DNA sequence: GAATGACCAATTTAGACTTTTGGTCAAAAG
DNA sequence: CTTTTGACCAAAAGTCTAAATTGGTCATTC
């Protein structure tokens, strides 16, 4: 084959979804960008959602890779959780597609987008959960419900990065690390 | 005066806001429920928002009272934070007005309602912040940024009560207390 | 002087009409 | 044959405007 039409389509769709979001992207436009007949898209993907899902799956893989890359086995569990979560949220802010998606989810609540956001969040949860399970096995942290702990950590991170700055000065990376350290790891008890 | 028209109006408006929300409540309806001419409302309140604000201020006071009541000086700071936050969120679920308001905020983003929700959340933040400052003074907990710590605690509570059950079995009051204890107070470090 | 409801400007709603869009498929291309 | 295509269709979304509603006023009433 001269050109990989499937790849062309996926690339075109990624570009369009990143630029205009899911709802505002039309299949005709994707076809045009990909230099392909509209019908051709449907030989590879049953629906617009299926095309979207493939792209998001790819995004999730990239995200996992970025997170995994940020981990340094020689560092402590705490340090690594901080690095991974910070990297993941950084990723969200660096990639046009995630920015657009979360925006569309917030502003229009497009069902397909809401679903996909949930998938992304589940993937992050599972990633952190795995790290926690490992840390428990290696006796680096107290035993706990890994899923619940991962959930708490992520919520806290999101809150510190995205919610706090709605009413306050944004926190620096160091402040966030310190807050996580002080609250989750060290606790406040005397 | 035979009847306190102001009180009648406030009561009628409270009933209507609780039942239909802010946007779906019309001043005419409030007047009708209060058995009062529409113009009368405007002799007490300049706008619909002003009437709304008065009612919400009252709600916030009640909420503070409930929270304050739930505190037992003889118990530990941790126990009291848990009791107070649990009571506040319970309050939110017991009162038709808060239920309707948070729902309207979520679903329609009515600006006046968004503002009011922010006011409620600020009040809760300040309440907890005060308790934390007190606890630091009394040397019950480590020194920390009271506002940031209060913020983290509240976010964690909301997450554990409202967000966790979107994808999992709801947590019992005890599980929530334990999670807060384990994560915030005791920490996970070894 | 306090209370009222008819009244008004402004916003919201309803729904008829138009356009766009996801998806199909018979025909064209290879 | 298989693969690609774009005209085509039903359905969904968008647009436009006339009608209804609503927050707020104020001359009149009590």
The pLDDT, as a whole number, for residue B88 is 97
Across the interface, of B122, B147, B159, the residue whose CB is closest to A152 is: B159
**To the nearest whole angstrom, how far is the Cα of A23 from the nearest Cα of chain B?**
19
Render the burial of B123-143: b for 16+ CB within 10 Å, e for the rest: bbbebbbebbeebbeeebbbe
Taking the Cβ of residue A176 and every Cβ of chain B, the question of whether any pair is shorter than 8 Å is answered with no
Structural domains of chain A sorted by starting position, each given as residue range(s) with its CATH number in brackets: 1-45 (1.10.10.60), 55-186 (1.10.357)
Indicate the length of chain A as a whole number. Answer: 190
Instruction: Identify the pLDDT of residue A183.
Output: 82
The reply to whether B174 touches chain A by the CB within 8 Å rule is no
The residues, ordered by sequence, that sit 6+ positions from B20 with a Cβ below 8 Å of its Cβ are B100
- The CA distance from B145 to B125, in Å, is 13
- Please check whether residue B48 is in contact with residue B113, taking contact to mean a CB–CB distance below 8 angstroms: no
pLDDT of residue B126: 98
pLDDT at B176 over 90: yes
Chain A residue numbers touching B140 (CB-CB < 8 A): 190
- CA-atom Rg of chain B in angstroms: 20
Of the candidates A188, A186, A182, the one whose C-alpha atom is nearest the C-alpha of residue B139 is: A188
Beta carbons of B188 and A144 less than 8 angstroms apart: yes
Categorize the per-residue pLDDT at B181 as very low, low, confident or very high, splitting at 50, 70 and 90: confident
Name chain B contacts of A144, Cβ cutoff 8 Å.
Answer: 182, 188
3-class secondary structure per residue, A133-183: HHHHHCCCCCCCCHHHHHHHHHHHHHHHHHHHHHHCCCCCHHHHHHHHHHH
**Strand, helix or coil at A72?**
coil
Gap from B164 CA to chain A (nearest CA, Å): 8
pLDDT digits (tens, 9 = 90+) for A7-63: 999 999 999 999 999 999 999 999 999 999 999 999 999 999 999 999 999 999 999
Is residue B83 within 8 Å of B19, Cβ to Cβ? no
Looking at the complex, report in whole angstroms how far the Cα of residue B159 sits from the nearest Cα belonging to chain A. 7
Residue of A nearest to B158 (CA): A155
Q: What is the pLDDT of residue A189?
A: 56
Q: Strand C: which bases are under 7 Å from protein Cβ? A: 2-7, 20-26
B156 pLDDT tier (thresholds 50, 70, 90)? very high
| Residue A121: φ, ψ to 5° | -65, -35
Distance CA(A155)–CA(B167), nearest Å, equals: 14
pLDDT of residue A190: 56
Query: What percent of chain A is predicted at pLDDT more than 70?
Result: 96
Contacts of A28 (CB under 8 A, 6+ apart): A38
Give distance CA B40 / C1' C2 (Å).
9
Would you say residue B187 has pLDDT above 80? no
pLDDT average, residue stretch B82-102: 96
CB-CB contact of A50 with A112 (8 Å)? no
Of A35, A17, A159, A139, the closest CA to residue A77 belongs to A139
| pLDDT(B183) > 60 | yes
Of A128, A158, A133, residue with least CA distance to A145: A133
Single out the residue of A2, A33, A169 nearest to residue B147, CA to CA: A169
Contacts of A167 in chain B (CB under 8 A): 122
Q: Do A144 and B188 touch (CB under 8 A)?
A: yes
A149 vs B: CB within 8 A: yes
Mean pLDDT of the B115-137 span: 96
**Distance in angstroms: CA A9, C1' C27:** 23
**H/E stretch holding B116:** helix B111-137
| Ranges under pLDDT 50 in chain A | none
The more confident residue out of A187 and B5 is B5
B184 with A183: Cβ contact below 8 A: yes
Nucleotide in closest CA–C1' contact with A48:
C22
């Amino acid at each position: 084959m001269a050109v990989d039409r499937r790849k062309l389509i996926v690339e075109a769709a990624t570009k369009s979804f990143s630029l205009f979001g899911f709802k505002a992207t039309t299949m005709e436009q994707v076809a045009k960008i990909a230099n392909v007949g509209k019908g051709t898209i449907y030989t590879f993907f049953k629906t617009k959602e299926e095309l979207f899902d493939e792209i998001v799956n790819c995004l999730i893989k990239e995200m996992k890779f970025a997170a995994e890359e940020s981990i340094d086995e020689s560092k402590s569990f705490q340090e690594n959780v901080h690095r991974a979560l910070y990297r993941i949220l950084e990723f969200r802010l660096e990639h046009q597609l995630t920015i657009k998606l979360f925006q569309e989810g917030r502003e229009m609540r497009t069902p397909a987008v809401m679903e996909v956001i949930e998938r992304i969040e589940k993937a992050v949860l599972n990633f952190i959960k795995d790290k926690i399970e490992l840390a428990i096995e290696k006796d680096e942290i107290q035993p706990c419900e890994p899923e619940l702990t991962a959930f708490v950590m992520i919520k806290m991170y999101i809150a510190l990065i995205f919610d706090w700055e709605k009413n306050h000065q944004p926190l620096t990376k160091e402040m966030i690390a310190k807050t996580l350290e002080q609250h989750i790891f060290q606790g406040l008890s005397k």
